[in-house]
Amino acid sequence: MKTIRWGIIATGNIASKFALALNYEASRSNSVRLAAVASRDAAKSARFAEQWGCARSYGSYAELFADPEVDAVYIATPNNLHVELSIAALKSGKAVLCEKPVSLDASSLLPVIETARQEKRFYMEAMWMKCNPSFQKAMSWIQEGKIGAPRYLRADFFLDSPFNPESRLYNPVLGGGALLDLGIYPVTCAHAAAGKIKPDAVSSIIKNAPTGVDSYNSSHLVWKSGFTADLSSSINLQGIKESRSAFIIGESGSIVLPYFWMAEEAILTGSDGAVLEHAKKPFECNGYEYEIREASLCIESGATESPVQTWADSIMVMEILDQIRTVAAYE
């Protein structure tokens, strides 16, 4: 088996979590290795390399893209840079795992996918929730008809981040806003539960922060099948334990996914409320190991996309996010 040599682009919060998970994966098999890291700042990059035991560090992203001893890159910059850096990496011959959201809207994602297709390189949105065993268990219960036809889904993602116009979450230049950063999880959850079918009707309400990005959004998605989803997200609301569960009600049962975007358990109940199955799968490391495993297996096999998070999945979710903003009543 080939060892996939990973490079990390940017040295922020999520890059460190990814490095921890990558080193965990490297410790359990020869499938992956942390080969290089790049930052806009050479000193930051060197510090990150030292912390995570990575052989080479660069003071620009372009230098890492030019490194012939890197097979795959993980892009962990603010949202506004995802398209440009994904295209640059693919054109340099790298496989790409790019943080969510992979673009700021659906139309700007298309050139990335076209580049992956032309270059015959692997490209995947780092939608770690879809690679998570508990999330996958819940989706398999739906597919196996364990709750009958799904009728209703509720999922919220609230985070109380102090207002700072320069921060990644509030700065429009960096692609901030609750919908792009957090709302993508409830929407992806509903998209998966609906069998990857686009909703037939969307309505929404959005509240903007003073910088013009949304601080809160609430949307109602309706499918002709009779399935509806109530979804919301906010960057200035305190999430509480109860608000962090997604629940899916079907004709003959229901599913609860506590902390659905980072679930370590899934609960299946019958229509009488009795628990039929309580699947528990604590993370082996920090939860990012599953997306690394999925991407590395695909790259090793020569695949250009992952069946878990396909290019079509990313496009459709971005289209739904676009629609939520287009139809929104702004408060």
Ligand X SMILES: NC(=O)c1ccc[n+]([C@@H]2O[C@H](COP(=O)([O-])OP(=O)(O)OC[C@H]3O[C@@H](n4cnc5c(N)ncnc54)[C@H](OP(=O)(O)O)[C@@H]3O)[C@@H](O)[C@H]2O)c1
d(CA 108, CA 114): 11
Beta bridge partners of 57: 37
Q: Is 119 in the site for ligand X (CB under 6 A)?
A: no
Region from 4-12, 20-28, 84-92, 211-219 binding ligand X, contact rule CB under 6 A: 4-12
Q: Whose Cβ is closer to ligand X: residue 39's or residue 219's?
A: 39
Asked if residues 202 and 220 have their Cβ atoms less than 8 Å apart, the reply is yes
Q: Is 44 in the site for ligand X (CB under 6 A)?
A: yes
- The verdict on whether 94 is a catalytic residue reads no
Residues 156-185 contacting ligand X, CB under 6 A:
168, 174, 181
Choosing from 17, 94, 100, 281, the catalytic residue is 100
Q: Is 10 in the site for ligand X (CB under 6 A)?
A: yes
Beta bridge partners of 330: 206
Interface with ligand X (CB under 6 A), residue from 33, 39, 67, 109: 39
DSSP conformational letter for 263: -
d(CA 214, CA 236): 10
CB of 135 to ligand X, least distance (A): 13
Q: Is 71 in the site for ligand X (CB under 6 A)?
A: no
Q: Is 125 in the site for ligand X (CB under 6 A)?
A: no
Q: Is 289 in the site for ligand X (CB under 6 A)?
A: no
Asked if residues 290 and 297 have their Cβ atoms less than 8 Å apart, the reply is no
β-strands 201-208, 329-330 pairing:
parallel
Interface with ligand X (CB under 6 A), residue from 100, 137, 146, 191: 100
Angle at 144 between CA 228 and CA 250, to 5 degrees: 30
Asked if residues 318 and 105 have their Cβ atoms less than 8 Å apart, the reply is yes
Q: Whose Cβ is closer to ligand X: residue 249's or residue 298's?
A: 298
Place of tokens 């921890």: 20
| Residues binding ligand X (CB under 6 A) | 10-15, 39-41, 44, 76-79, 81, 99-100, 126, 128, 168, 174, 181
The catalytic residues are 100
